[in-house]
Structure 1
C-alpha cells in the first residue's frame, strides 16, 4: 500500500510517499481502507518536533529521541471497514467509520488497523468522509474539556482561538450545553464564528478581551496565545480555566490555584474509547454540530498541506482526500 512516511524530524519536505506493507488485522482489530485524513497541529508538532518545553521529555519518549519511532503520521480518519479479526463483534466489512488514531498514528496511509474497542464509530450518515475525518481529534478534545468543566446552562464561557479546530467545535458544543459563549478570533473570522452560534465575538487584533470588564465562568484557551494574567483577571472567583496547550502549571498558575477557588484543567488526552465519537455522531445527525473545512488537499499534496497548517492561520480543519488518489498515485 502507499503511505506518507517520515524518517527524520524536520520541515514538511521530510514527508515522502512510499510503498509499504499492507497491515493485517489482529483478532480484535478492524482493517480500514482510509478515504480521508487531516493535517492537525499535533501532526505538525510530531513531524517537526516543535513542542512546548514542558512537553519535550514525554514527547521524546513517545515519538523517539533521534528519529521517529512511528514513521506514518495521521491522527484522525474516515473510511470503510475492509475486513475484521475473528473476535471482532462491533463492526463488519463494508461499515463506514470514522476514528482517532492518536495513540499509534498511521492515518497517512491507504490502510490502517485499529482495535474495535478504541475510538472508532460508525460515520454520521449526513456528512462526507472528509467531514467525518475532521471530527475525532478537535471535536473530541473540545467535548472532553467542556465535560471536565461541567458546563451548566447560562454559564458564561469564553473560547480563545474560536476559529481553530478545537475552538470552532468548543463554541458549538458549549452552546449545545446551554452556555452563553464569547468567541475570540481575528477580524477575518468574526462573522464566521458568530455563525457557529457565539453570542458575542471579540477581535483580538483590536481589543483585549480582559479590558471589557466581563467575568466568565469558564475560559477555554485552545491555541495558547492569550495572556494568563488577562484570563485570571476575567475569570470569576470560582471559575474554571482550561488550556489545551499546557501540560504542567507554571509558578503563577500554581499560586493562583492555591490562593483562590479557581479550577485549572490543562492538556490531557481524552479516553481512547468510542463513547465521545458516538455522542458527536448524534450531534452531527441532529444538526447541532457543523464540521468546518478550511482546505482540501489530495494525498500527493500533503507536503503543501503541512506548509499551510504550519503557518498557524487555518480556519477549522484541513483535510486530505485519499479516495481520489487510490488509482492514480505513483511512488
Structure 2
C-alpha cells in the first residue's frame, strides 16, 4: 500500500510517499480501507517535533526522531478485514475513528474499541473532518466545561476546526453562544448558529464588560489573566490550544493557566482528546448530533492523497475556516 512515512522531524517535505506492507489486524483490531483523512495542528506538531519541550514529556513525540512514522489522526473508510475477537464490525461496513496515527495511508488498523459506524448522512470526507476536532470540542464543553442549558458560552477561535464544531455543539446542548473570530469569518460563524459574533480585529472581547459561564479557548490569543476578566466568578476556562513555537508554546500557555487554577475562583481545565479513553463513546454522541442535523462539519478545502504535504502547509498557515480534508 501507499503511505506517507515520516522518518525524521522537519517540514512537510520530510513526508515520503512510498510503498509499504499492508498492516495485518490483531485479534481486537479492524483493518480499514481509508477513504478520507484530515490534517490538523496535531499532525504538524508531531511532524516538526515542536514545541521542543514536548519531546521531554511523557507520551511526547520522541526525543531525537518521531515515534509515529505515519501521521493522520482522523480516518473514515470501509472495513477490509477484522481480527478474530472482533464482533461489532464486518467487511464492507462504513466507519470512522480517531486512531491518533495511521491516517496518511491507504489502510490503517484500528482497535474495535476506537471505531464507530460512519454517520449515514456524511460523505467519507465530511466524516474524516469529525473525530479529533469535534471530539475535542465535545470533551471541552461537556466533560471539562460541564456545560449546562441556558449558560453563556464564549468560543475563542470560533472559525477553526475545533471552533466550528464547538459553536454547534454548545448550541445543541442549549447554551447561548458567542463566537470570536476575524472579520472575514463573522458570517460563517453566525451561519453555524452563534447568537453573537465578535470580530477580534475590531473589538477587545476581554474588555467589553461581557461575562460568560464558560470560555472554550482555541486560540490562546490573550494571557490567562485577561480571559479571567470575561468569566463569571464561578466560570470555567477550558484550554484547547493556541499558536505554537519551536521551544515552548502552546505548552507554556497551558502550564501557566493550570498553575493559576488553585489561586482563583474560576475553574481552569484542559481538553486533552489524545489521552481520552472514551473516544468511541464520544463519536457515537457526535453521530447523534450529526444525523439529527444539529452539527454539520465545516470544510475549508480538500486535497487528493498525494497532496498531503501541500495540505499541511496550508493548514500550518492558521487561516483555514473549518477543516482541511484529504481524499485517499
TM superposition score normalised by structure 1: 0.92
1:274 to 275, 280, 293: 280
> Tell me, what secondary structure is at the counterpart of 1:264?
strand
> Tell me, what secondary structure is at the counterpart of 1:218?
strand
CA offsets 1:61-81 (integer angstroms, 9 cap, x no match): 532211112211000010000
CA offsets 1:63-116 (integer angstroms, 9 cap, x no match): 2211112211000010000111111111011100011011xx111110011110
Paired position in structure 2 for 1:327:
none
Paired position in structure 2 for 1:153:
149
Q: How does 1:79-90 map to 2 (within 5 A)?
A: 79-90=77-88
| 1:52 Cα deviation after fit | 7.1
Provide the C-alpha distance between the structure 2 equivalents of 1:251 and 1:164, rounded to a whole number of angstroms.
24
Paired position in structure 1 for 2:301:
295
Moved over 4 A (4+): 246-253
2:259 to 247, 254, 257: 254
In the alignment, is the contact (CA less than 8 A) between 1:247 and 1:266 conserved in 2? no
Paired position in structure 1 for 2:313:
307
Structure 2 alignment gaps of length 5 or more: 242-249
- After alignment, is 43-52 or 130-139 more displaced? 43-52
Q: How does 1:140-289 map to 2 (within 5 A)?
A: 140-148=135-143, 149-245=145-241, 250=255, 254-255=259-260, 257-269=261-273, 270-289=276-295
Q: Structure 1 residues 251, 310: closer, same or farther in 2, change over 3 A? A: closer
Provide the C-alpha distance between the structure 2 equivalents of 1:8 and 1:21, rounded to a whole number of angstroms.
20
Structure 1 alignment gaps of length 5 or more: 323-331
Provide the C-alpha distance between the structure 2 equivalents of 1:251 and 1:150, rounded to a whole number of angstroms.
22
> Tell me, what secondary structure is at the counterpart of 1:258?
helix
| 1:251 Cα deviation after fit | 5.2
Paired position in structure 2 for 1:133:
128
| 1:259 Cα deviation after fit | 3.5
In the alignment, is the contact (CA less than 8 A) between 2:56 and 2:63 conserved in 1? no
> Tell me, what secondary structure is at the counterpart of 1:304?
helix
Provide the C-alpha distance between the structure 1 equivalents of 2:315 and 2:112, rounded to a whole number of angstroms.
31
| 1:19 Cα deviation after fit | 0.3
Provide the C-alpha distance between the structure 2 equivalents of 1:253 and 1:20, rounded to a whole number of angstroms.
42
Q: Structure 1 residues 86, 5: closer, same or farther in 2, change over 3 A? A: same
CA offsets 1:170-219 (integer angstroms, 9 cap, x no match): 10001111111110000100010001110100011111002210011011
Provide the C-alpha distance between the structure 2 equivalents of 1:84 and 1:258, rounded to a whole number of angstroms.
47
Paired position in structure 2 for 1:63:
61
Provide the C-alpha distance between the structure 2 equivalents of 1:261 and 1:212, rounded to a whole number of angstroms.
21
How many residues are matched? 316
Paired position in structure 2 for 1:96:
94
2:327 to 315, 321, 329: 321
Aligned Cα root-mean-square deviation (Å): 1.6
Q: Structure 1 residues 128, 251: closer, same or farther in 2, change over 3 A? A: closer
